[in-house]
Structure 1
Amino acid sequence: MKIAAVAAGTLGVFALSIGPAMAEAYVKPGQGAGACPSGYVCLYDNLNLNQDDPGDVLVTNESLADLHPYHFGDRASSYVNKTGHYVVFYDHGDYQGGQQFVASGTSGNMPGSMGDDVSSLKILP
């Protein structure tokens, strides 16, 4: 009986360690694509991934219906997408308004007219 309980406990810990990453979003100072960890999409408050002008980076691995609580609504000028999925940028909160799709593995200044106009983002399955 003890062995079964220990084995079950060990398997439970193992299952937790290989589950999906915990959803998170935070802002930090940073520059360049290296400021964006694997599995995340990052928004930079200046052009060229903050390379020419140091600034903040919004780092997230979850969809965000409103960027304003992170002080990033209508602020992002460039991005890096390392999620492994398409990401959609919206110019209004709650995934509304104009949208731009960006593929995984891409980075650069905000596409189209989205520069300093993104208010929500969705990571597609």
Structure 2
Amino acid sequence: MVRKLAGKTARLGLYAAAVAGVVLATANSASASTLLGIGQGAGACPAQHVCLWSENGFVGATSGSKYGAIASDQNIGDMGKLKREGALWDGMQDTASSVVNNTGSGICFYEHNWYGGLQFRIGPWEKWPSVPSWINDRISSFTYC
């Protein structure tokens, strides 16, 4: 009887370890991404990402411009940190003029870092070739809302 119980306990322990390994592997395989310099046009926004361009009409990094475009599938609390060192492209702090929400969730854009100040909210799958003038060139952070 003790031997049977010990065998069942050992099998249960191996089963639990296997399940824990699958859960851990799944959690590690799904990672967030933020892409810099995604290209022109609303179609450049990847599935399940929020995209911002420095110019109206989903244009970024035009000739003579030091700004560009980004795509992210996570909240961004400080758009000023999204930049390429040593290149023309200098980040997206207070420069966004057009946005695409390629997700099934609402997105809230904020005037200040870490989700403060004025808020501009767009719905799932919305595309704005030009954001309203009161938030144009003022977006500093965004979050799923």
Q: Which interval holds the TM-score relative to the shorter structure?
A: 0.7 to 0.9
Deviating runs (4+, > 4 A) in structure 1? 8-20
5 Å-filtered alignment, 1:1-125, equals 12=21, 16=25, 21-50=30-59, 53=62, 56-70=68-82, 71-108=91-128, 109-124=130-145
Any unmatched runs of 5+ in structure 1? none
**1:100·1:112 contact (CA, 8 Å) conserved in 2?**
no
Q: TM-score, normalised by structure 2?
A: 0.69
Higher alpha-carbon Rg: 2
Q: TM-score, normalised by structure 1?
A: 0.79
Distance 2:26 2:71 in 1: 22
Paired residue total: 122
- Identity among equivalent pairs (%): 30
Q: Which has the higher strand share?
A: 1
Distance 1:11 1:99 in 2: 41
Q: Structure 1 18/95 Cα, relative in aligned 2: closer, same or farther at 3 Å?
A: closer
